[in-house]
Chain A
Amino acid sequence: MLAYLIRRSLLLLFVLFGAVVLVFIAVRSIPGNPAEIMAGPERTPEEVESLMEQWGFDRPLPEQFARYLANVARGDLGRSVSSRRPVTQELAERLPLTVAIATMALVLGSGIGVLVGIRSSLDRGGLWDRVATIGSLTGVSIPSFWIALILMTVFAAQLGWLPAVGIRSPAHFVLPVTTLMLEPLAIAARQTRSAMLEVLGQDYIRTAQSKGLSARRIIRRHALRNAAIPVVTVLGLAWGSLLSGSIIVESVFGIPGLGKLTVDAIAARDYPMLQGVALLFALLFGLSNLLVDVFYAQIDPRVRVS
Chain B
Amino acid sequence: MRLRRNLSAIGITLVLALAACSGAPEATTSAPGNPSPESSGGTETGSQGGSITISVGPEIPVFDPQLATGLANVGITNLVIEVLVYPDPETGEPTPGLAESWEPLEGGSVWRLNLRQGVEFTDGTPFDAEAVKFNLDRILDPATESPFRGRLSAVEEVLVVDDHTVDIQLTGPFGPFIRLLGEPGIGMNSPAQVDALGADYPTDPIGTGPFILDSFTPGQGAVLVANEDYWGGRPLLDEVRTLPIPDDPARVVALEAGDVQLIYNVPSQDLARLEDNPDLELLQAPGARAIELNINHSVEPFDDVRVRQALHHAIDKQALNETVFAGLAEVSTSFFTSRAFGYSEQEPYEYDVERARELLAEAGYPDGFETRLSYGEGLYLSSPEVAQTLQAMLGEAGIVVELEPIESATFLSDFYKPASENPYELAISGISNGPLDAWKGTQHYHGTRSGFISDGSNQMFYSNPDVDAALDTGETSADPEVRAEAYAEAQRLLWEDAVTVPLYIQPQFVAKSSALRDVFVRANETVDLFTAWLAD
Where the two chains meet, the residues of A that have a C-beta atom closer than 8 Å to any C-beta of B are: 30-33, 36-47, 50-51, 54-55, 80, 82-85, 90, 93-94, 145, 148-149, 152-153, 156-157, 160, 163-167, 251-254, 256-257, 260-261, 263-264, 267-269
Contact = CB atoms under 8 A, between A and B. Distances in A.
A101 B319 CA distance: 48
Contacts of B410: 30-32
A38 B62 CA distance: 12
Nearest to A166: B243
Contacts of B416: 36, 43, 45
Contacts of B153: 44, 46
Interface stretch (B4-12, B256-264, B362-370, B390-398): B256-264
B253 A157 contact: yes
Given A43-B150, A251-B246, A252-B250, A165 B260 contact: yes
Given A82-B61, A152-B253, A51 B145 contact: yes
Contact of B61 (A30, A50, A264): A264
A90 B218 contact: yes
B254 A164 contact: yes
Interface in B222-251: 243-247, 249-251
Contact of B69 (A32, A37, A153, A167): A37
B250 A38 contact: no
Contacts of B444: 42
Given A36-B412, A54-B145, A153 B253 contact: yes
B404 to A, nearest CB: 14
B58 interface: yes
Given A85-B218, A165-B243, A264-B58, A41 B409 contact: no
B147 interface: yes
A260 B219 contact: yes
B62 A84 contact: yes
A93 to B, nearest CB: 8
A33 B260 CA distance: 33
Nearest to B376: A41
Contacts of A261: 219
Contacts of B142: 50, 54
B9 to A, nearest CB: 26
Contacts of A41: 379, 412, 430, 432
Contact of B259 (A37, A163, A263): A163
A80 B453 CA distance: 28
> Closest 6 A-B residue pairs measured CB to CB?
A256-B219, A32-B409, A32-B413, A156-B257, A82-B61, A31-B410
Contact of B409 (A50, A51, A267): A267
Contacts of A157: 253, 256-257
A44 B259 contact: no
A80 B264 CA distance: 26
B202 A84 contact: yes
Contacts of A43: 147, 150, 416, 455, 457
A30 B150 CA distance: 25
A53 to B, nearest CB: 8
A51 to B, nearest CB: 6
Nearest to A156: B257
Given A32-B413, A267-B58, A166 B259 contact: yes
Contacts of A84: 62, 67, 145, 199, 202
B69 A40 contact: yes
Nearest to A264: B59
Contact of B413 (A36, A152, A164, A166): A36
A297 B256 CA distance: 52
Given A37-B409, A166-B259, A260-B219, A44 B250 contact: no
Given A82-B62, A264-B58, A36 B409 contact: yes
B444 to A, nearest CB: 7
Contacts of B254: 152, 156, 164-165, 254
B244 A254 contact: yes
A41 B414 CA distance: 11
A33 B69 contact: no
Given A165-B253, A267-B409, 11 more contacts: A37-B412, A38-B147, A45-B416, A51-B145, A84-B62, A157-B257, A165-B254, A166-B243, A251-B250, A252-B247, A256-B220
A145 B253 CA distance: 13
A269 B150 contact: no
Interface residues of B, number: 51
Contacts of A30: 409-410
Interface string B436-475: 0000000010000000011111000000000000000000
A93 B216 CA distance: 13
Nearest to A83: B61
Nearest to A248: B247
B218 A251 contact: no
Interface in B377-426: 379, 409-410, 412-414, 416
A83 B455 CA distance: 25
B1 interface: no
B412 to A, nearest CB: 6
B457 A42 contact: yes
A139 B217 CA distance: 34
Nearest to A82: B61
Nearest to A145: B247
B326 interface: no
B147 A82 contact: no
A185 B307 CA distance: 59
B413 A33 contact: yes
B62 A83 contact: yes
Nearest to A80: B61
16 contacts: A32-B413, A44-B453, A47-B147, A47-B150, A82-B62, A84-B67, A160-B258, A164-B259, A165-B250, A165-B260, A166-B259, A167-B220, A254-B245, A256-B220, A260-B59, A267-B409
B398 to A, nearest CB: 32
A149 B432 contact: no
Nearest to B63: A83
A251 B143 contact: no
Nearest to A54: B145
A253 B243 CA distance: 11
Contacts of A45: 416, 454, 456
A270 to B, nearest CB: 9
A42 B244 CA distance: 24
Contacts of B147: 38-40, 43, 47, 51
B15 interface: no
A301 to B, nearest CB: 46
A149 B69 contact: no
